[in-house]
Structure 1
Amino acid sequence: MCNPTVIVAHPGRQHSFRVAKALKEGGLLFKYVTTVYNKDDSLLMRFVKLFLNKDSFQRASKRKCPGLDDNDVIQFCELEGILLLALQRIDFTRILSNKVQRYVTNKFQRKLANYVIRNPQIEAVISYDTNSSVLFSILKDKVPHVKLIMDNAHPNRHYLYHSYHENWECVGDFSKTLEACGYLMDSQNAEVYGEEVRKADYHIVASSYSTQALIFDNIPQNRIFKVLYGVDDNRFLKSNRLYSQEKLQVLFVGEVNQRKGIRQVLEAAKVINSDKVVFNIVGLGKEYCSELYSEYESYVHFLGRVPYEELLHQFSSSHIFLFPTMGEGFGLVLLEAMASGLPVITTENCGGKDIVVNEQNGFIIPVGDTKSIVDKVNWALTHPIQLQEMSIEAVSTARNYTWSAYENGVRSAISQILKG
């Protein structure tokens, strides 16, 4: 059994539960540190749950990792974290909630840094992008022997700024949907994130695209560990859908903004404009800059946020999945779609080029290319037999990417880092 010497810290959640669980099982986890956590004896969580609606109650209850005991978890800034979660539910622009999040995150990092300094047995800290700059600066100064590991859920934002502006012509008026992402609009803001990634000693990423984004800021490739995410395919309904039906159901799931390539989705639907093709858009975002979307309402169905059961129904009843993102750390929804038997249309700017074999289980298209979307959807409409073969191949691909394999990969990476 290894000595438990590694901290996993995230003021939110993302996939940090998976990392903490993997390290706990490997005997490496010292503590998991966060803000909001559903501990059995938490009086604050019990009080908060009294005022939550059913959806929010379920979300709060999920703030608990099945692989951890409550005494494995330390909380800082719990009240601030709860207030931030409430604000994020109503602030569609994310402008105010982003400011509050920066305040909570910086306070969280300072408390965490003091905790690490007081515990000399800690050898490494795993923190997350946009949650690490203050923490890493303090630890480099006070405890330089501690290894600083950044788990990159998102690609390096400094690289994204340059990538987006190389493709800015495809954004158009939908630049308004990017205003909450200050790093995409302001080069100095983007440089701050470049400085953050350079402070880390090691990086964990989930895709070749995120590796490429770090190399942009001169991060040595031998300090980058790529571990692809997994999917729980039992959650998704792999129906034996028929591709000879009269209508082709095209599904998009994600934030409705230009980061996900929503303008190209909408323009493609407008160009195709066929009663044989149905475009369903699942996700929030239309509420912000609603004037941009009004002209497309006759070409697509905006479903907004849907209950989990409805999401599963959308996956099982659709025929092809559309995700033309402009930049993603991985795009877990791609694996979820493939596990449901959906061939995908996506870009290289995500985990697509790691899991999609062009014309076998999906299609890789250029960023911002509406014509490619139109061409692929029209091809799918007229090639039902080939599309059904791609559906089978998509399921087969998804089965190769499990959370168990991801956890093994994370343990292996951290073990290598600790050995130097």
Structure 2
Amino acid sequence: MNAGTHPEPFQAALGLARAGYRVEYVSGSQVSSRSVIGRVLRLLKVGNSRVLQVPTNVRLRIKTRGLQAELCYLVRRRFGSDSQLESLRKRTTIVERFASKRIARTRDRMIVVAQNSCADVAFSATSTDDFRVLMQPIINDRSLVDILDQDAASSPHWSYALQYPNRELSDEDRRLLLAGAVVAGSNFVAKRLSEYFDGPILVSNYASVSEGIEATVRRRAGEGRLRVLFAGQVNQRKGIGYAVEACARLHSQVELVVVGPIGARMRAELSRYSNVNVRGPVSREMLTNEYREAHVLLLPSLAEGFALVGVEAMQTGLPCIVTENTGLSDVVADGLSGFVVPTADSSAIADVLSRICNDDELLARVSSAATLAVSHLTWTLFGDDVARGIDEISRAYWASLAQNSAPEQ
């Protein structure tokens, strides 16, 4: 089940269906392309994340409360007094209640796979015979709080822009207690999660949702500035402070282009830097254009899951400078297909940018390798990997239940 539009739960459902499981996918804001609503949305050219394409050779039932949940969400946002967070929570509640009723009515033994944002109610509705799988797209909240607290202490100037989780930590504890396994998008997420969860953790890297992207090798034209792109929410969890400080050290050698949602205080802060160009939120098409015009993508995040913006950039031939905490060190080989720097270290970022500025061949060499490094990432591979892992672990779980319930001889 999935209350939002994250692609990985649906791809896991497809993988399980291909593996022969009878699968029902419960969604709160997505509909099948075969449904009437899905056909209308396709005609209106609504984003692909809301209309699910089910291959004709895959048997998968989609049960959605998408229309009801989405209408409630839009009405509350437009005419009500709810904040966006409150509206999202109410949309999630509609999905959870629907899913829990279906789970409670089902007498067969089940595998319940749920996104972390909507797993609480669904897991609570299961029985001991059911196997519960939690999909964890980003680092777990307790680890995230630890990382953000450390950064607030070491970089107090940027602490106002730290993005703390808005969920109760006890809710996460309960989900992990009920889960029989967790699906993580990167080894970084798995490593931090293993401090709080002692069950099996399946690691499978996500794929990009972009299609038809043409890769071009990046080269610097003459002696112009190195164009560095920062794409994402403009806050300190994404490491914006370290990006700005690194580029300020090189000043006239680089231009930092900042793309993504940004608050008024942060916009005012960045306006003090002459080599920082704030673009703000852009469309998908405009973001693709930014990829093409940039020399390198800078992702200095303090905590992510598996930063898909980096995968998309690498598909275009745009090399990335990433921290291990982005999860992208799973696919970025330092100095070969990109650059991996320590977290919260603007000096290390500046050193890499300086190397690129002073080595005409380095950028082209790494750019060529970047595209190849992510060429194996497909949603089919992700879905099949997850299905294989869930099948193996759930069978072991049920075998253990059978053994423990068998009468002693």
Bin the TM-score by the shorter chain.
0.7 to 0.9
Could you tell me the TM-score, scaled by structure 2's length? 0.85
Specify the code of the residue in structure 1 equivalent to 2:204: V
Map of 2:400 onto structure 1:
none
CA contact (8 A) 2:73 2:90 kept: no
Asked if residue 103 in structure 1 is aligned to residue 90 in structure 2, the reply is yes
Distance 1:395 1:118 in 2: 47
C-alpha contact (below 8 Å) 1:237/1:316 kept by paired residues: no
Counterparts of 2:250 and 2:79, CA distance in 1: 34
> Aligned partners of 1:88 and 1:379: how far apart in 2?
48
Q: Does 1:200 align with 2:179?
A: yes
Amino acid at match of 1:243: R
* CA distance in 2: counterparts of 1:233 and 1:60, whole angstroms: 11
Deviation at 1:266, TM superposition (A): 1.9
- Give the 3 Å change call, closer, same or farther, for CA 406–156 of structure 1 in structure 2: same
The aligned amino acid for 2:356 is A
CA contact (8 A) 1:36 1:82 kept: no
Cα distance in structure 2, aligned partners of 1:342 and 1:282: 15
What is the letter of the counterpart of residue 14 of structure 2?
Answer: K
Checking the alignment, whether the CA contact within 8 Å between 2:322 and 2:340 is kept in structure 1 is: yes
In structure 2, what is the Cα distance between the partners aligned to 1:81 and 1:203? 28
Q: Distance in 2 between matches of 1:394 and 1:60?
A: 27
1:265 matches 2:270: no
Relative distance call for 1:211 and 1:375 in structure 2 (3 A) is same
- Tell me the residue number matched to 1:25: 18
Residue 213 of structure 2 corresponds to which residue in structure 1? 236
Unaligned 5+ segments in structure 1 are 1-8, 184-188
**What does residue 14 of structure 1 align with?**
6
Partner of 1:164: 148
Secondary structure of the structure 1 residue equivalent to 2:227 = strand
1:67-113 deviation line (CA, Å, top 9, x unaligned): 2689821123643334436878999xxx9222232233234223211
2:118 partner SS: coil
Shift of 1:348: 0.9
1:206 partner letter:
G
- Report the equivalent of 2:228: 250
- Using the TM superposition, give the Cα deviation of residue 371 of structure 1 relative to its aligned residue in structure 2, in angstroms: 1.3
Distance 1:89 1:278, change over 3 A: farther
Q: Which amino acid aligns with 1:303?
A: R
Give the aligned partner of residue 67 of structure 1. 54
Aligned to 1:415: 391
1: CA distance, partners of 2:393 / 2:30: 28
**Who is 1:6 aligned against?**
none
Alpha-carbon distance change, 202 to 285 in structure 1, aligned in 2, over 3 angstroms: same
Q: Residue deviations 1:185-241, cap 9 Å, x none?
A: xxxx33432332232111111111111121111323xx1111111236753231233
Corresponding residue for residue 371 of structure 2: 395
Tell me which amino acid in the other structure corresponds to 2:308: L
Aligned to 2:342: 366
1:190 is matched with which residue?
169
Which moves more between the two structures, 21-30 or 197-206? Answer: 21-30
Aligned residue for 1:144? Answer: 128
Aligned equivalents of 2:350, 2:75: Cα separation in 1: 39
Matches within 5 A, 1:317-336: 317-336=293-312
Which residue of the other structure, out of 119, 132, 150, is the alignment partner of 1:132? Answer: 119
CA contact (8 A) 1:362 1:394 kept: yes
TM-score normalised to structure 1 length: 0.83
Letter in 1 for 2:217: N
Whole-Å separation in 2 of the counterparts to 1:399 and 1:87: 42
The residue identity in structure 2 corresponding to 1:12 is G
Identical pairs, percent: 23
Aligned partner of 1:301 in structure 2 is 277
Give me the whole-angstrom Cα distance separating, in 2, the residues matched to 1:167 and 1:96. 28
Query: 1:164 & 1:191 partners in 2: Cα distance?
Result: 18
Q: Which of 140, 158, 171 matches 1:174? A: 158
Distance 1:218 1:341 in 2: 37
| SS at structure 1 position matched to 2:229 | strand
Runs of 5+ unmatched residues, structure 2: 397-409
Deviation of the 1:260 alpha carbon: 0.8
Structure 1 residues 401, 244: CA separation in 2 closer, same or farther (over 3 Å shift)? same
